[in-house]
Every structure is written in structure tokens, then in C-alpha cells.
Chain A
Amino acid sequence: MTQFSLDDDTVTVVVGSGAGGGTIAHELARRDISVVLLEAGRHMTADDFVNDEMAAYDMLSWLDKRDASGSWRVAKDHPDVPVWHCKGVGGTTLHWSGCCYRLTEDEMRARSVFGDIPGTTLIDWPITLEELEPWYDKAEKKMGVTRTNGLPPLPPNNNFKVMYAGAKALGYDSVSTGRHAINAVPYDGRPASQQDGFTICGDKVGARWSTQNVEIPKALATGKLDLRPESRAVYVEHDETGRASAVLYVDSEGVTHRQKARTVVLAGNCVETSRLLLHSTSARFPNGLANGWGHVGRHYLRHVVQTVWSVFDKPVYMHRGEIMAGYLDEFATHDPSRGFAGGYYVELNSMGLPSMAGLLEPGWWGRDFAQVVEQYANIAGLFMSGEDMPQADNRITLTDRSDAFGVPVANIHYSNHPNDVLMRNHGYKTMRAIHAAAGAKRSIETPPYPATHNLGSNRMAARAEDGVLDGNGRAHEVDNLFIADGSNFATGGAVNPTLTIVALAMRQAAFIEGQMAAGAL
């Protein structure tokens, strides 16, 4: 096992081993750059994973308490866990269900395309789709995305057959099983999906790409990665010139260490990265590291994400098969005639009985509730993911309570913009209509559950006065500090974000290599 010393100031310290952090750790290590990867969670492998929703949730999730406020329903239904992500080597790629879609050109020019929408803080991305495209190509290849590079699609499952029938009846001809970083055939040493329905419980089979089963083993094999699980970063230090110089972290024994660094990359998922920066105050950065302009934690996005469950006369057994293998993009483009800005995608969704019952409509009870749950076998599910509007006050802040590591607990404040409400309403109606056209007896519009797409809270922007990072994900105010998680999105776009997080992390690694080679880092 490669080990670098705490005083080695030539290493790049990466915080977090999920989609962004695990990817960049590998991309740097394979370029011969020494990496120390700090991960708060344990190092679990396929042997540890179980096919069980509740046990897997307890095993994989980030369960440290948080606060929630704002008018979003999540603050009422899930006040302690307003966001849903993992803690463990692999981050939330242990949970994710593999949908891999690209941003569109319009989405990356949101301010120009949507115009001046009151109450929003829309900007254009500081990079264009054209600049990102080669990295999307590389990311899709790395992850083995179906329907790219000659890889076959995932086969239709029962839940998809319902979606397909309804969508076709309504003329939504784009309907397909979609694109996933889940093998339909063996790829990159990993087997094809067994359609076990437990991809989000760690994926025991390993058919789905994760940083835990692909990037980190490959990075370790280079000999340039020092992986430190159960290591919680608590503070980022800078030197007298204002460059990031070390990361303080607490190990599993509760001992605090100072790892020196040449470059620091943060990838702790939105809330944690913002929290770490806000907590890393100094005389030079009294409001938190890289926060001179006050953007750290702001413009937090979580997508307009919804589920509709519908009851049919006959069995569906939606739990069988890959859970999100269905997609249509008829509503993905910006079309002001719909009455709102931005687009959304309709995708497939399934859950096991425990999760479906728990998230169906928190607080609902009695005969009617029980009668719906009882028909679990005959239920099909749809999901939407749409673009939410950035707002300055939708933000992550620090409370006055500290966690076990002495770092203040985060509060996540989110209120829906009227545009979000209009889009959600439109999406519910679309999803209901699809199921109705396939013969649904009844549909339940489930409220949003804890946010799985956490974006934007340390966003990239061409100008420092608009966002924390430049177009390479580098802090405008600290030139050896980078962010590789979804908090770097300039705006959210509509699609599931992970392919973009991975493409950006790959691009960022190449940039860091170039800067190092040029002697600038």
C-alpha cells in the first residue's frame, strides 16, 4: 500500500471518494501525480453489500444530522436528512442507479436562453458544451455507458413495458430504456447486470460503474494513491500567500492529523464541501476559504425531482430489474410556451416495498393508504428530473451546533421558485397521463424525498463576483484549490448529474496536470 508522509507537501489531497473525488484521484494518479484521498466513510466491498433496502441505507448513507428550512416539503418530511448521499469509499456512486445523460447546449447557456427570470441568479456556464464534449466521450467510455461506443442498451423490464405502452399511446416516440453506466454485456472486467433490482444497495454484482469498483482499484494499482478511509477532513489551511497548504482531518481513533498539500481538491458532495469551506475561516478569509464574494453555499440546487406511482389491474413486479431503465426527452428542451423555463426528463423509477411505503406520502395513514400499499405487486413508477432555478438564498449555512468533530452542523435552506412549481405540476400531469394511457386505475403523486441531485453551492462562473470557481473548477480566490463534486455546476441542467460530474473531474485532472507541468501549481 502506497503511503505518503503527512509532511509531504508535493501530494494532491482529495477530500471525498465519490463520483467527483474518486474519479479525479484516479485520473491524477494515472498521470503520475501523488494523491492522498481522504474519505470520511469505511472501505466496503461487494462482500459487505446486501440486497436489502433498509440495511443498505443504514450501511451506506451519510446519517450525520443536518437541519433544514425553507418552504420545500423535504424540510417538513425529512428535517434531519434533507439530502441523501453516501458515506464510504465510492461515495454516492455506491447508491446511484447509473442514468447517464449529457447536458445540452441550451442548458449550459441558461441565463442567455431563459432570459432574466425574477428571483433567480441564473448565469451561463463559463465553458461551452463543445469544450465538454470530448470529456463526455471519455467519461462514457470509462463508465461503459449503454448505447455509446457500440454497447447495447439495457433490456426492457416490466416497469418499462408500462412506461413504453403509455408513452407510445401519447405519441412520445423518444421513449427508450435510456443510457446507463450499467453493463448490459460484460465490459471492463465487470459482468452484465443480473437484473437483481438492488443496484442502489451497493451493487453486489458490480455490473454498474462506481468509483468503489472501478476508479479506486485502478488508482491504487498505479502506486500513486494513498487511500485513507475513515478520515474526516475538518479544516483546510492556507499559507501566508493565500494558497491552500494542508488539510486537517480526524481518523477513526479520533486523532487529528495535518496532511500537507501542493494542491487540494474538495469533493465531499455539495453540503459537505460548502460546510468545510465555510468552517475554514482565517484572518484572510473571515467568511470561509475562497468566500470573499460570499458565494460559498449559495445557489444550491436539487432538481425538480418527483415520483408518480400508479396502480394497475395486473402484476408489474417493478422491483425486478434495473430500477431506472426508462427515459423520454419530449419535455427536455426549453419551450416557453409551456409556461415555465427549462426542461425535464421522464425516467423509470422503482422501489422495494419498504421504501415505496415510507416515501409514498409521508404522514399518510389509514384504509386508503393501506389499500394502495397492499397492491404493491401491481404498481409501476415514473420519475422526473428537471432543472430548478438557482436562487441566492437557497443555501447551505452553518448552525451554532457542532458535530462530533467540532465542525458546525449545516442547515440546508431551500424554497421553490414559482418556475419550479410550474414545472413540477407539468411533470406530474405528464407522468399521470403516461400511466393512465397504459391503463392505470389510480396514481399517487409522491412529494420530493431527500435530495439526491445536490448541485451548485460552490458554482463555476466566468467572473469571481458571480461564483466561487472558474471554468476549470479552480477557486477564483485560491489558485491551488479545486472542487470536483456536483457543487461546481454553474446551473443544474435537467438531467441526472453524475456523467457531467465525472466528465468535469476528468477535464480538471488534465488541467491540473498541465498546470503542474508548467510549474504554475
Chain B
Amino acid sequence: MPHHPTAYRDPKLPSDRVLPGDESWTEMLKAFDAPAANALIAFARTICPHDGLGDGPYRRTVAKLDDVAQANPEKAALLAELVQRIDGAMPLPFVELSEAFRVEILKDIEGSAAFSMAQRTVVLFLYDDLEVWQAFGYEGASVQHGGFVNRGFNDLDWLPEPPEGV
């Protein structure tokens, strides 16, 4: 992936959470057991497949889904339904399937409330992650560095420079 400037979270906000690097990360989850968590990771990787990203952002996304499920019984039920449907669709659990099979399953349930809630929530959480910002070149909070006025707000140099006062 290309090299981008450093991304920052606003210093007033909590940093993105740090999860254990190994399989034990699922132990901190309250709403999902390990198989459900792994199915949701595979779901998030199918919805938003970024081969260059490690598991960290996807795990944080599922940890946030776990918060949602704990706080909101209606959404918890939809997420449980999603896991059940994607895991039950083929003779193998969702995580074991190749991408083509995973996509086929998701296409089948695209119209469901469970899919649509989960899809939108994954998009919301995954792209609100500092590691993802860094990877894709979104620098995040800037006011603590004086904005971009002296940090490249007008440094694009592959097109002609507009005239003064345009």
C-alpha cells in the first residue's frame, strides 16, 4: 500500500482499543462466542475486502458490534440471525468458505433487515478506525497541529496552479 502521512484521532477522544493479537481476543466479547465472532469477521471481510489490512481493524469492528448487541436487544437479535443464516447456508461454516461462496450467500440475503443493518454498521465502524485511516490516507484530526494551512492543504502539484485570487 502507498505510504501516507500519519493519521491522528482527536486527542480529546479515547484511542482505538487494543485487542490481544492472538485468538484469545474473543474472550472479551459478551454478546458473541468465538464462532460467532469469527463468522462476523469473515462477514466484514466479505463486505469490505481489503487484503492489505490485517485483522486488527476487523476485530475492533466486531468488538464494536458486540457493544451494539449488548446495548440494543433488537440489533442483537438481527446480528444473531445474520450469523445463523450465514453459518447455516452451506455444509461448512461461513469462515471456512471461499470468497465466491461467501459472496453467493450474502447476495441471497441482501434484502434482509439483518444483512442491511449489519452491512451498514460494519461500514460505519471499519472506516472509523485509525489504522484504516492511516492505510488509506485519511489524516483525521488536525486542529491540534494547526490544521493543514502549513501542512499541505494546497500541495497538489500534478495539475496547473490556479491563478492568484481565483
Contact = CB atoms under 8 A, between A and B. Distances in A.
Contacts of B139: 317, 319-320
Interface stretch (B68-76, B77-85, B89-97, B145-153): B145-153
B62 interface: no
B48 A373 contact: yes
Contacts of B9: 52
14 contacts: A161-B154, A161-B161, A162-B156, A164-B159, A175-B166, A194-B146, A195-B149, A319-B139, A321-B153, A365-B48, A365-B119, A365-B123, A376-B138, A377-B137
Contacts of B12: 50
B25 interface: no
A314 B143 CA distance: 25
Interface of B: 2, 4, 9-10, 12-13, 46-50, 52, 103, 106, 116, 119-120, 123-124, 126-128, 132-133, 136-144, 146-149, 151-156, 158-162, 165-166
Contacts, number: 154
B143 to A, nearest CB: 5
- Label chain B's interface by main secondary structure: loop
A373 B52 CA distance: 13
B154 A157 contact: yes
A197 interface: yes
Contacts of B138: 319, 352-353, 376-377
Given A194-B143, A196-B143, A369-B48, A158 B4 contact: no
A353 B136 contact: yes
Nearest to A368: B49
A414 B126 CA distance: 32
Given A176-B166, A198-B142, 6 more contacts: A50-B141, A51-B141, A51-B142, A165-B159, A175-B166, A375-B136
B152 A317 contact: yes
Interface stretch (A220-228, A354-362, A498-506, A507-515): A354-362
A320 B148 contact: yes
- Label chain A's interface by main secondary structure: loop
B154 A155 contact: yes
Interface residues of A, number: 55
A176 B163 CA distance: 10
Nearest to A152: B165
B127 A357 contact: yes
A153 interface: yes
A54 B13 CA distance: 11
A54 B127 CA distance: 10
Nearest to B47: A365
B147 A366 contact: no
A186 interface: no
A315 B154 contact: no
B140 A51 contact: yes
Contacts of A50: 10, 12-13, 141
A196 B8 CA distance: 13
Contacts of A196: 142-143, 146-148
Interface of A: 50-55, 152-153, 155-158, 160-162, 164-165, 175-177, 193-198, 204-205, 314-317, 319-321, 352-354, 357-358, 362-363, 365-367, 369-370, 373-378, 438-439
Contacts of A357: 123, 126-127
B48 A354 contact: no
A370 B143 contact: no
A354 B106 contact: no
B101 to A, nearest CB: 14
Given A51-B10, A51-B143, A365-B47, A317 B137 contact: yes
Contacts of B159: 161-162, 164-165, 438-439
A365 B106 contact: yes
Contacts of B49: 366-367, 370
A204 B47 contact: no
Nearest to B152: A320
Given A197-B142, A374-B50, A156 B123 contact: no
Given A153-B165, A165-B159, A366-B46, A377 B136 contact: yes
A317 B152 CA distance: 9
A177 B164 CA distance: 11
Contact of A194 (B46, B120, B148): B148
A197 B149 CA distance: 10
* Top-10 shortest CB links A-B: A377-B137, A194-B147, A196-B147, A51-B141, A353-B138, A321-B153, A320-B148, A158-B156, A195-B153, A357-B127
B146 A52 contact: no
B156 A195 contact: no
B153 A157 contact: yes
Contacts of B50: 370, 374
B141 A158 contact: no
Given A50-B12, A377-B4, A366 B103 contact: yes
A439 to B, nearest CB: 8
A174 to B, nearest CB: 11
Contacts of A164: 159, 162, 166
Given A161-B159, A161-B162, A316-B156, A52 B141 contact: yes
